[in-house]
């Protein structure tokens, strides 16, 4: 795997679309940039494992250089607040303020921006809260698990002037930028098929039994945690292992597919699929979860006139890791492989096969993308992609330019995710109504 140092160096040299490196402004323009003369104060919304192991280290790597500092943490669980104070003091020698909830955080008016890493179903709503409080936002994916939540956040952003980066870190990786450039150049030809997998065999994935045993209702705010989800009795598993349970998470679609389907939208120019069908089940982990441990979905993309059409086959299993993570794009001329980071003529139309129909061969030129591997562990640390993505957000907070993964990218991957979830839950063919901005399963609006 490429080293972080080498990755960053390569990213700074001739990679289109990335904003690494020093930003150049006149003395007058620099003075107008938010936080140019003072540090930009950042709050952490949700002191989760993702926060402490990945997002915060990635932020801190550029904080001093770019003039940022973390000043506060908001978390509903008292244990997390205690851990946050200890973490920042011991690791960074910083004192931070902690808050019991976001209302208290925003009422204190000490943050210019926030990093949101809360439960899956909370992301869009917490993003809307932050925007309304006047903060720029870095928010983890999946952006939204219902269209109502997605629309609320998008509406909050309109006219606000806030900078929002969705945690789709592939959009800041040099190999994905190179792949997008290659496809958009026309050299690859029309995408005809995409195959994607995300397979793991990690019994502890999304399970936290030791922590669940320590989590007491009196030390949290269960009602505030539920937000707009149906009211139910306290359940520490749903509080901490929410990825296993609908409607607090869609599981595989929101956690893993959200990353990969976003690249389909980016590379193809489509905002969402025309239709989705899917099936799955709980075949291995009979542990009380409601979200599937295995699923397969088929997405149909294309314009209304039938142009730029292709299919996406997505599969994922949590009980056998063979195949790992794969992202394969196919055209009539060859294959673009984002595991090997190579474009090859493999599978393209050969001279012999073409001649049978009086056609010419169609084989793409071989092309090497920057070599980057996707991390599959649950806590990736400050991996190169997350580092670059966080830095891009920080630079855009200062420059007020749009980041690599703006809110609309999250809105669109949410449409695809929700369509997939609806197909899994109903068994129906699912479409999207662009007028009502609703997901339709069997012609009916999909609800919780």
The arithmetic mean of pLDDT across residues 407-413, rounded, is 98
Among 2-6, 23-27, 43-47, 309-313, the minimum mean pLDDT is found in 23-27
What is the pLDDT, as a whole number, of residue 383?
A: 87
The pLDDT of residue 34: 46
Q: What does the alpha-carbon distance between residue 308 and residue 270 come to, in Å, rounded to a whole number?
A: 9
Least confident of 29-38, 136-145, 201-210, 278-287: 29-38
Mean pLDDT over 363-372 rounds to 90
- What percentage of the chain reaches a pLDDT higher than 90? 88
* pLDDT tier for residue 381 given thresholds of 50, 70 and 90: low
Question: Which residue has 């009196």 as its token pair?
Answer: 218
**pLDDT above 90: residue 27:** no
Pairing of strands 294-301, 310-317: antiparallel
pLDDT given for residue 32 in this prediction: 39
Residues 6+ apart with CB under 8 A from 173: 372, 384, 385, 388
Given a cut of 90, whether residue 373 has pLDDT beyond it is: no
Q: What is d(CA 173, CA 297) in angstroms, rounded to the nearest whole number? A: 26
Return residue ranges of the chain for CATH 3.40.50.720.
Answer: 4-171
- CATH 3.30.360.10 positions along the chain are 178-375+408-445
* The pLDDT of residue 5: 45
Judged by average pLDDT, the poorest of 16-25, 251-260, 400-409, 410-419 is 16-25
Q: How confident is the model at residue 377 (pLDDT cuts 50, 70, 90)?
A: low
Is the model's pLDDT at 80 over the cut of 70? Answer: yes
Q: Encode the chain in three state secondary structure.
A: CCCHHHHHHHHCCCCCCCCCCCCCCCHHHHHHCCCCCCCEEEEEECCCHHHHHHHHHHHHHHHHHHCEEEEEEECCCHHHHHHHHHHHHHHHCCCCEEECCHHHHHHCCCCCEEEECCCHHHHHHHHHHHHHCCCEEEECCCCCCCHHHHHHHHHHHCCCCCCEEECCHHHHCHHHHHHHHHHHCCCCCCCCEEEEEEECCCCCCCCCHHHHHHCCHHHCCHHHHHCCCCCCCCCHHHHHCHHHCCCCCCCHHHHHHHHHHHHHHHHHCCCCCCEEEEEEECCCCCCCCCCCCEEEEEEEECCCCCCCCEEEEEEEECCCCCCCEEEEEEECCEEEECCCCEEECCCCECHHHHHCCCCCCECCCCEECCCCCCCCCCCCCCCHHHHHHHHHHHHHHHHCCCCCCCHHHHHHHHHHHHHHHHHHHHCCCEEEECCCCEEEECCEECCC
Work out the number of other CB atoms within 10 angstroms of the CB of residue 205. 15
CATH class, 4-171 region: alpha beta
Q: Grade residue 109 by pLDDT with cuts at 50, 70 and 90.
A: very high
pTM recorded for the entire structure: 0.90
More confident residue, 381 or 158: 158
Mean pLDDT of 298-316: 97
What is the average per-residue pLDDT within 8-35? 38
What is the CA angle 156-416-401, rounded to 5? 45
Specify the pLDDT at position 35: 43
* Ramachandran bin of 315, using left for φ above 0, alpha for ψ from -120 to 50, beta for the remaining angles: beta
Average pLDDT, the chain: 91
Band (pLDDT 50/70/90 cuts) for residue 371 is confident
Tally of CB atoms within 10 A around 185: 8
CA 430 to chain centre: 22
Q: Which residue has the higher pLDDT, 377 or 144?
A: 144
Q: How many C-beta atoms lie closer than 10 Å to residue 201's C-beta?
A: 12
At residue 372 the predicted structure's pLDDT band, cuts being 50, 70 and 90, is: low
- Inform me whether the pLDDT recorded for 165 exceeds 70: yes
Residue that wins the pLDDT comparison between 165 and 382: 165
- Give pLDDT, residue 37: 53
- Percent of the chain past pLDDT 70, that is, above it, reads 89
Q: How would residue 374 be classed by pLDDT, with cut points 50, 70 and 90?
A: low
- CATH topology for 178-375+408-445? Dihydrodipicolinate Reductase; domain 2 (3.30.360)
The token pair at 295 is 């699923």
| Res 23: pLDDT | 34
Which of 141-150, 365-374, 403-412 comes out lowest in average pLDDT? 365-374
End-to-end Cα, the chain, rounded Å: 41
The average pLDDT across 158-166 equals 97
* 281 vs 317: CA distance, rounded Å: 10
- Give residue 199's pLDDT: 98
Give the pLDDT score at 83: 98
Q: Residue 3 above 90 pLDDT?
A: no
């Amino acid at each position: 795997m490429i080293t972080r140092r080498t990755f960053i160096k390569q990213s700074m040299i001739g990679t289109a679309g990335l904003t690494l490196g020093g930003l150049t402004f006149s003395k007058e323009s620099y003075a107008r940039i938010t936080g140019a003369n003072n540090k930009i104060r950042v709050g952490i919304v949700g002191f989760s494992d993702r926060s402490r192991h990945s997002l915060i280290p990635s932020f801190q790597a550029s904080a001093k250089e770019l003039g940022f500092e973390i000043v506060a943490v908001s978390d509903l669980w008292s244990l997390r607040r205690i851990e946050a104070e200890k973490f920042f003091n011991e690791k960074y020698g910083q004192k931070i303020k902690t808050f019991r909830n976001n209302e208290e955080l925003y009422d204190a008016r000490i943050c210019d921006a926030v990093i949101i890493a809360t439960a899956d179903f909370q992301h869009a709503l917490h993003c809307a809260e932050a925007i309304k409080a006047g903060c720029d936002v870095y928010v983890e994916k999946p952006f939204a698990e219902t269209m109502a939540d997605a629309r609320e956040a998008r509406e909050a952003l309109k006219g606000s002037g806030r900078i929002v980066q969705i945690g789709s870190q592939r959009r800041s990786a040099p190999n994905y930028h190179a792949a997008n450039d290659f496809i958009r150049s026309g050299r690859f030809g029309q995408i005809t098929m995409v195959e994607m997998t995300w397979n793991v065999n990690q019994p502890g994935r999304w399970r936290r039994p030791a922590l669940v045993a320590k989590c007491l209702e009196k030390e949290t705010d269960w009602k505030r945690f539920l937000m707009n989800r149906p009211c139910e009795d306290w359940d520490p598993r749903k509080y901490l292992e929410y990825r296993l349970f609908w409607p607090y998470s869609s599981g595989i679609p929101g956690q893993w597919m959200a990353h990969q389907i976003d690249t389909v939208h980016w590379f193809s120019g489509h905002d969402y699929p025309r239709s989705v069908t899917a099936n799955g089940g709980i075949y291995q982990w009979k542990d009380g979860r409601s979200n599937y441990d295995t699923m397969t979905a088929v997405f149909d993309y294309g314009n209304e006139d039938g142009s730029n059409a292709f299919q996406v086959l997505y599969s994922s299993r949590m009980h056998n890791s063979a195949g790992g993570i794969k992202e394969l794009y196919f055209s009539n001329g060859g294959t673009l492989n984002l595991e090997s980071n190579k474009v090859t003529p493999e599978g393209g139309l050969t001279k012999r096969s073409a001649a049978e129909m009086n056609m010419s061969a169609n084989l793409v030129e071989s092309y090497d993308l920057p070599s980057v591997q996707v991390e599959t562990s649950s806590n990736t640390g400050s991996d190169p992609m997350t580092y670059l993505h966080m830095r891009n957000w920080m630079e855009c907070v200062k420059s007020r330019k749009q980041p690599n993964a703006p809110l609309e990218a999250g809105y669109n991957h949410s449409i695809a995710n929700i369509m997939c979830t609806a197909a899994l839950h109903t068994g129906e063919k699912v479409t999207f109504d662009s007028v009502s901005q609703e997901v339709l399963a069997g012609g009916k609006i999909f609800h919780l």
